[in-house]
Structure 1
Amino acid sequence: MSDSLRARANALGLTLPSPSQPIANYINHVVSHQHLFISGQIPLVDGKPTYVGRLGESLSDEEGIQAAELAALGLLAQLSDALGDDLSRLVRILRLGVFIASSSDFQRQGAVANGASDLLVNVLGEKGRHVRTAVGVASLPAGVAVEVDAIFEVRP
């Protein structure tokens, strides 16, 4: 596996976006001891929110999965930035949080969250295996369908 996270993603045909910038009073990531916390990432294309709507209403499961993949790419962009693109500093992802804007009767949050989980495992290999929470919510920032955040274990 390449020591460059961007190169690893590129080898899989994926392009990491430029890390998004905070739109409110928070920062992109915090390192505490050997833990790296990355703020929630939403699906963006050219820096603009995409996949706006709710699962079980205006968006299909497949669109939700694609939204989760895009949000996970944003998460990887933040990880690359936080680690100076040095994948050797990553021990593993510990926890992934996936928030899915959905109707009250939508019950396939886990399937949508697999979009993010599968992408992370594909790019990071065994370092990408994680525990996860997938939660349905009424709405998310900019009206997007999915937001992901994560906690990583890193080497100093």
Structure 2
Amino acid sequence: MGYQLTEPRRSAVGNFVPAVRTGNLVYTAGTGPGLPGGGFLHVGKLGAEVTIEQGYDCARLTMLNLLSNLKGEIGDLDKVKRVVKLLCMVNAAPDFTDTPLVANGASDLLVSLYGERGHHARSAVGMSTLPGSMPIEIEMIVEVEG
């Protein structure tokens, strides 16, 4: 579909891995809208420095980064049987209430890629801060072929 995936990224700030597989489930570490050369697509809080549209784009890029990490764990993204759950954490100004609109950037991408297999349960919650002032961080649980 024309999307570019990067190499999976290991954390430079902690002792954890990008994804862990147990049985047919893969749990991803929280990931943000990191750019291949470093930094983030946007930084700041939704409802203050970052618009809903910019947040949506950040969620989409975050999902591409998560898919890169998932591919690094399972080898082939065609092995995805079902996206089970997303936890979308949005760096939000105190009065920002549109976290679902931001998280839709990730959800819409998954459904466009996987159709019914991409529909998932989701939480979209506001946070007072996220690492590096990134606007969104997402965790994902995916069921994969044995």
TM-score (normalised: structure 2): 0.93
Paired residue type of 1:100: V
1:116 and 2:106 matched: yes
Counterpart position of 1:84: 75
Residue identity (%): 35
CA drift of 1:40 comes to: 0.9
1:19-48: CA deviations, max 9, x gaps?
121221111111112211011111011242
User: Helix, strand or coil: the match of 2:3?
Assistant: coil
Counterpart position of 1:9: none
> 2-side partners of 1:18 and 1:48: how far apart?
13
CA drift of 1:49 comes to: 2.7
> 2-side partners of 1:140 and 1:32: how far apart?
27
Quick check: 2:70–2:77 contact (8 Å CA) kept in 1? no
Counterpart position of 1:21: 10
> 1-side partners of 2:116 and 2:123: how far apart?
19
> 2-side partners of 1:124 and 1:142: how far apart?
31
The structure 2 residue matched to 1:130, chosen from 120, 139, 146, is 120
| Structure 2 gap ranges (5+) | none
User: Helix, strand or coil: the match of 1:40?
Assistant: coil
Paired residue type of 2:87: G
Q: Does the C-alpha gap of structure 1 residues 67 and 105 become closer, same or farther in structure 2, counting only changes over 3 Å?
A: same
Counterpart position of 1:72: 63
CA drift of 1:77 comes to: 0.6
Counterpart position of 1:8: none
User: Helix, strand or coil: the match of 2:101?
Assistant: helix
Stretches of 4+ aligned residues off by more than 6 angstroms = none
| Structure 1 gap ranges (5+) | 1-11
RMSD: 1.1
Quick check: 2:91–2:129 contact (8 Å CA) kept in 1? yes
Question: May I ask how many residue pairs the two structures share in their alignment?
Answer: 144
Quick check: 1:20–1:47 contact (8 Å CA) kept in 2? no
